[in-house]
Amino acid sequence: MTLPTEIKEFGHRFAKEYRAIRKAIEKYDRIVVYRHIKPDFDAMGTQMGLYTFLKDNFPAKDIHFVGDNHVTFTPRLFPETERLNDEWIAKGPFLAIVVDVGDRERIADPRFEKAEAVVKFDHHPFKGTEIAKYPVLFEEAAAASEIVADFCLSWSGRWMSKEAAHYFYIGIVGDSGRFMYSSTSTHTFAVAMELLREGIDLPRLYRSMYVKNIDDLKSTAYVLSHFRVSEHGVAYYTLDAKTQEELKITPERGKENVNVFSNIDGIGIWCSITEDPNPKDYCWRISIRSKMLDIAPIAFKWGGGGHPQASGAKIKDLSELDAFIGDLDALLKEHPEAK
């Protein structure tokens, strides 16, 4: 089967890296696929898509995936992430494949440092020290799944199962905002088309990604009656731990209401601010989204990062909230056309 031009061109751009990564995969009998902490659809979809693809094509190899579980995605969308014990790690050399993350600190299992070789696929703007010998970094990609699915689809002689395609498709849909964000390109659609050919059940896939229950409706009602809007058009809401408990939601679920503010005239940037009471890393987690403006530099300033229109950050406590919202508000003041 001939692949679309977009996939062929992408393969030429990363020919050297693809060749080296394929060689490494063929060489190592022990492989671990890593993703970022606090996984989203794309982190999980990319990891599970690649893991499934590798299992399908290299059944004799010892392959694992690791990281913290997403409480609402598993087991609804993805299998429980296994606990890989230290004995396995110590047993011999292995290859670490890191997906959807470039910063050391954000990789969900620090034991990737013990791998003999590290390769990486990512689309996050990256400022730290490179972790991989052969990084495939393409910031313009709508999703990490778009890149890794491209890598798998164009690997001649290997095959993509319906299950692997299903996972990659979840990643693409998740990070492209259902093909709505400006990062969506002809390459995104070319990869999605090839994945669809494998027979994905789209209604089932969308239902499993976006299913809600009555409690979710109540949390949306709470958000809609408690949000605030800054002078120049930043909409935001806070969910403290007590309210999350009353609403029966986790911080992850709490942030999922953030997109009720997309496509609202007069709102250019919107955020959820949810208290994470975990004593090991107590903070208020912020999800930031924007209609047009690049909010990643502000996310970076506030201890986070991400993409121009979807980023994450955190603050220590609510005393920092006004200053944080102030930064976003100042950006919209400069660009009133962006709301």
**Which positions touch ligand AMP (CB under 6 A)?**
36, 40, 106, 124, 287, 304-307, 310-312
Residue 83 burial by Cβ neighbours in a 10 Å radius (0-12, 13-18, 19+)? exposed
**AA identity, residue 286:** I
**Distance in angstroms (rounded) separating the CA atoms of residues 304 and 286:** 9
> Which residues touch 211 (CB under 8 Å, ≥6 apart)?
76
Nearer to ligand AMP, 146 or 194 (CB): 146
- The residue at minimum Cβ distance from ligand AMP is 312
**AA identity, residue 24:** A
Nearer to ligand AMP, 194 or 275 (CB): 275
Alpha-carbon Rg of the chain, whole angstroms? 20
Nearest approach in angstroms of CB 36 to ligand AMP is 6
Three-class SS of residue 227?
A: coil
DSSP letter (8 states) at residue 107: B
Nearer to ligand AMP, 160 or 268 (CB): 268
Nearest approach in angstroms of CB 114 to ligand AMP is 23
Nearer to ligand AMP, 307 or 339 (CB): 307
Nearest approach in angstroms of CB 91 to ligand AMP is 31
Nearest approach in angstroms of CB 259 to ligand AMP is 10
Nearer to ligand AMP, 102 or 233 (CB): 102
Nearer to ligand AMP, 254 or 304 (CB): 304
**Distance in angstroms (rounded) separating the CA atoms of residues 216 and 214:** 5
Nearest approach in angstroms of CB 286 to ligand AMP is 7
Nearest approach in angstroms of CB 258 to ligand AMP is 7
H or E element at residue 290: strand 283-290
Three-class SS of residue 136?
A: strand
Longest dimension (CA), the chain: 60
